[in-house]
Structure 1
Amino acid sequence: MVDWSGGNDRGPTPKKDAIWVCAARDGVTDAPIYLRNRQLAEEWIKAFLAEEVDAGHRVLAGFDFAFGYPVGFGKALTGSDDPFAVWDWFAQRVKDAPDTNNRFDLAGEINAMFPGIGPFWGNGRKQDVPHLPRKGNDRSGHGLPEKRVAEQEAKGAFPVWQLAGAGAVGSQVIMGLPMLARLRAEFGRALRVWPFEAPDAPIAIVEIWPSLIAKAVTATMPEGQIKDAHQVALLAQTLSRLPPARLEAMLDVPCTTEGSILGLDQVRLLEEVAMAPATPPPLKNDCFAMPQGAHWTPVDEALAHLRAQLRPVTGVENLPIALAAGRFLAQDVQAARAHPPAPNAAVDGYGFAGPAEAGVQRMPLIPGRAAAGAPYPASVPQGSAIRILTGANLPVGVDTVILQEDVTATPSEIAFHGPLKKGANARKEGEDMVAGQTILTSERRLSPADLGTMAAAGIGRVAVRQRLRVGVLSTGDELRDPGAPADAGQIYDANRPMLSALIKHWDYTVVDLGRAPDDRAKLRAILDKGAADCDVILSSGGASAGDEDHMSALLEGTGSFALWRIAVKPGRPLALGLWNNTPVFGLPGNPVAAMVCALIFARPALRVLAGGSWTEPQSYQLPAAFSKSKKAGRREYLRARITDGKVEIFTSEGSGRISGLSWATGLVALDDPAQTIALGDPVTYIPFYSFEP
């Protein structure tokens, strides 16, 4: 969608009443782009359309100015009712540069061709322009309707004759139609203009009026956003979210020489789609509900419940691939073109039509060469060879390449020893990827290698999940910030810096919610703010059912509360719920238990909430450097590290010994049944690096 300007260059700083462009795909918008003048805008639009067509995409391109004039104008101006004749007439006469244009002079010249005074008015210059009145009331006798049918039906739409003043659109039309005429000439049969032509080409150009969804624009515009930027983004998103049948019906209108505004008869539908939430619907209120009782919930049962009930809570945005590393794909990615895009040489050498027989082979060497980016423009005769470099497209008549080290060459001939099979040292078109092939699937976290794969396949932008915002909160009157004075009855808050660093390592956005005292009113206020600023809240402390467990008490009042008594050591209680539709994970207050529960339960859950797939940490079977007798009933996680190929555990299993987390390089997981472990027995070791995002 394009918000076009009738004025001159607006400078480097984004401004209102300027040119703004925004693209959307499947309801996912790119960031709106500010273009300071019409010359830069036209170059950008042409490049964008060419790139999309080359990628095999179809584009609905909307421009916010009239494509035609009231009936009778075209016939009087050009002698034809063909609206494109009017476009070409303006294209031949409009003079436009970043600092000046002739739109007012041209409008005066047109007025002189009509009887009476008008139809154009609104001289925006200080000096008078011949035949161009400053006020609309000064016009008379020009014989043309004041508005097109579309303007009569669109409440609040301005007539195309007004060139200056509040709400004027006439200058946009005069300065926009020449650009559209050049687009038609540039793209030929690949472009159609609605409603004058059926929109059955790769590019369909349509007339839009963002004020059709003015209520939605006002209701959804972020504070500080430039209105022009927001409305093109919202309209692009809205139209791209429409079901194909709805869009097809919207385009099915009678053809008139005046043109029409897309969606003029579907304003209510557009408003509804524009106002619909752009982010996923909230989690169900009972998503954490699990049959409760005196029994303890096994770890695997708790994990299975989270996996089944959670889904993404983040929105979607479209980013250049250079900015997409670490993000989760919101949809599958298909190759825009084959890789390689054409058969090419895998080595430096000489190309010819293979195979080559055994024995000494001699071939005439034709002048010229094929190089990467500089293909040989002609065909290579049968029985002749050509110099070819690595990555160069194989010329017509070449399907085999011999390595230059295996060749004796003169300026006119090469000689080598055969045999050499046909296709040697040559890559086939699409042997890596073919156009349209799904190369990466949704829910995948994009790696640097993935960016290379997408770039090679011609992908410039990709739909990804917005970065998950995780609020980190500690609770308890006894806590103090590290480094602050503390008496014997107080402890330093180890959980908040530890969990915040963990969240940051997982590549999510950390929102520090601070420390909450044992005061429900204050905790409620913190949760209210956290729910507004975060996608999920990770708290520690107050997660059980005691008198001072205020987190559990508040969550219980939401109707979404679930206190999971998990058969795990360290850990046990997990308080889960929704606060204003924002999921809250209440971890134990003990730092060791908080860390273990974050790794085992929060890590995979946050990944799903962020838009990724559920993953299990990688574990290894290694011999134990310890002995232990374990009772039945609970999964135990012991702080551990590897020494000389064996796994040793921290000297104390007490969860109060936080230093054991720094000592350890991973965890030993002992399953639920009773077991006795002797020195050398295999145990399950999970290195900390396996708990990746």
Structure 2
Amino acid sequence: MLTFDEYQQRVVAAMRQLPPRAVDLSGAAAGEADLLGLMTAQPVRTAVALPGFTNSAMDGYAVLAADVASAREDAPVSLPVVGEIPAGDTRSLKLAPGSCWRIMTGAPLPEGADAVVQVELTDGGLQQVQIREAVETGRAIRHRGEDVQPGDEVVPAGVRLRPRHLPALISAGVDEVTVVPRPRVAVVSTGDELVEPGRRPGHGQVVDSNAPMLAALATECGFEVTAVRRAGDTADAVRSVLSEVAAEADLIVTSGGVSAGAFEPMKLAFEGSDHFDFVKVAMQPGKPQGFGTLDGTPVFALPGNPVSSLVSFLVFVAPAGRVLAGRDPQLPTVEAAVAERWTSPPGRQQFARVVFDEDGRVVRPIGGQGSHVLGGLAGSQALAIVPADTTEVAVGETLRVIPLEGIA
């Protein structure tokens, strides 16, 4: 039997980052989210200066600082207002000494002006304005290129793109960005007893809840789901479905057919294969696992019990997919204190379903820890990681915990 760490390291080490590809920025500019969550494979360098023109940082009056050097509250300087410059004004304007332009935030500064007096320091006049405070040269001005110059790096390589990166990308004057693509995941559940969601199962049948759950997990992790299929309990049926989905997938996830029973379709499908192994892992839940390749596509064969499938996906498939996507393989964890005692099987690393107390700092087990118990799974908020050498989790002990919210 392999330890949890041995098996996780084995499957993660088998992964290779997907080849980078260039993505057109027009989709992001139109509000589409194709780039979000992807890792930059190359630095993004701006092709233009930002800002692209010298402009006003405030609503006020564009002036020569020397013209208002003597201004004070009890002796304001009066200047004629030549006109108004709104944001978006494309005219080429000039400022004559002894006058001013009324200007809005973001509007281009007229040639000759070297400062902006904010409107709060004036009487707000439209034809003639009283300026009650002197300003220094450069006050409230954003100079062309003061943010970035052409060729400057605006987003480095190895950054996972978030909404906050879009303004820099879209303003940089580049047409595309090179990223690591989203891993394509195909999900296949096995078993003649399965019926599709929405159908009422007959005697001996169960609704296939694993495939929708695994597909949803893949989506939440930032992967692209390319197929959700079911296969019967024969080797031929399994291999036929897997071969079909492999062409459009970077990774295949199956559920069921990996235990020690007489009719285990995943084992039958890969019996004698040099590219597939079925092992036992010292963990609870999720002891039976399978991993290999089909036509070069990695295949994770997960156990069929729903809790086992979910845990196995999070601790094996998600890290593998993150490697394909160019990301850190490990899911984020937090530390939490134990608020209620429970037991853990000897020699097996346990992933216990738990809930947080109101302060989010202590955890309690929820429901039975059996791999078939769905009520506790639905109500759980995290997986508490109990080391293999721990048989009793004591109150006050600190554990590493994988939150089930926001796992992307």
**Aligned counterpart, 1:469:** 184
How far apart are residue 649 of structure 1 and its match?
1.6
1 CA distance for matches of 2:126 and 2:246?
75
How far apart are residue 599 of structure 1 and its match?
1.6
Q: Given that residues 79 and 98 in structure 2 are in contact (C-alpha distance below 8 angstroms), is that contact kept between their aligned partners in structure 1? A: yes
Residue of structure 1 aligned with 2:36, choices 305, 310, 326? 326
1 CA distance for matches of 2:346 and 2:114?
68
How far apart are residue 337 of structure 1 and its match?
1.7
Alignment of 1:134-283 (within 5 A): none
2 CA distance for matches of 1:327 and 1:674?
37
**Aligned counterpart, 1:311:** 16
Is 1:628–2:342 an aligned residue pair?
Answer: yes
| Residues 201-257 of structure 1: CA deviation (Å, up to 9, x unaligned) | xxxxxxxxxxxxxxxxxxxxxxxxxxxxxxxxxxxxxxxxxxxxxxxxxxxxxxxxx
Residue of structure 2 aligned with 1:340, choices 29, 33, 51? 51
Question: What TM-score comes out, normalization by structure 2 length?
Answer: 0.83
**Aligned counterpart, 1:83:** none
2 CA distance for matches of 1:619 and 1:444?
20
SS in 2 for 1:401: strand
Q: Which runs of 5+ in 1 are unaligned?
A: 1-293
**Aligned counterpart, 1:679:** 395
When the two chains are superposed, the root-mean-square deviation of aligned CA atoms in Å is 3.1
Q: Given that residues 555 and 579 in structure 1 are in contact (C-alpha distance below 8 angstroms), is that contact kept between their aligned partners in structure 2? A: no
Question: What TM-score comes out, normalization by structure 1 length?
Answer: 0.52
1 CA distance for matches of 2:45 and 2:138?
28
Alignment of 1:48-197 (within 5 A): none
Identity of aligned residues (%): 32
Is 1:435–2:145 an aligned residue pair?
Answer: no
**Aligned counterpart, 1:368:** 83
Is 1:352–2:63 an aligned residue pair?
Answer: yes
> What letter is aligned with 2:23?
N
How far apart are residue 466 of structure 1 and its match?
5.0
Q: Given that residues 102 and 126 in structure 2 are in contact (C-alpha distance below 8 angstroms), is that contact kept between their aligned partners in structure 1? A: no
Is 1:298–2:7 an aligned residue pair?
Answer: no
| Residues 261-311 of structure 1: CA deviation (Å, up to 9, x unaligned) | xxxxxxxxxxxxxxxxxxxxxxxxxxxxxxxxx4x2333x54444444422
1 CA distance for matches of 2:311 and 2:343?
21
2 CA distance for matches of 1:501 and 1:622?
26
**Aligned counterpart, 1:408:** 123
> What letter is aligned with 2:21?
V
How far apart are residue 579 of structure 1 and its match?
0.3
SS in 2 for 1:566: strand
Q: Given that residues 363 and 383 in structure 1 are in contact (C-alpha distance below 8 angstroms), is that contact kept between their aligned partners in structure 2? A: no
Richer in helix (by share): 1
Q: Given that residues 55 and 141 in structure 2 are in contact (C-alpha distance below 8 angstroms), is that contact kept between their aligned partners in structure 1? A: yes
**Aligned counterpart, 1:652:** 368
**Aligned counterpart, 1:254:** none
**Aligned counterpart, 2:106:** 391
2 CA distance for matches of 1:586 and 1:514?
14
1:417–1:364 Cα change, 3 Å: closer
1:615–1:433 Cα change, 3 Å: farther
**Aligned counterpart, 2:333:** 619
Alignment of 1:454-533 (within 5 A): 454-464=169-179, 467-482=182-197, 483-487=199-203, 489-533=204-248
1:567–1:453 Cα change, 3 Å: farther
Q: Which runs of 5+ in 2 are unaligned?
A: none
SS in 2 for 1:418: coil
Q: Given that residues 619 and 690 in structure 1 are in contact (C-alpha distance below 8 angstroms), is that contact kept between their aligned partners in structure 2? A: no
> What letter is aligned with 1:389?
M
Equivalent pairs, count = 395
How far apart are residue 578 of structure 1 and its match?
1.0
1:496–1:334 Cα change, 3 Å: same
How far apart are residue 506 of structure 1 and its match?
3.9
**Aligned counterpart, 1:594:** 309
Q: Which has the higher contact order (CA 8 A, sep 6+)?
A: 2
| Residues 350-383 of structure 1: CA deviation (Å, up to 9, x unaligned) | 1234485673452534513333221552443456
2 CA distance for matches of 1:617 and 1:378?
56
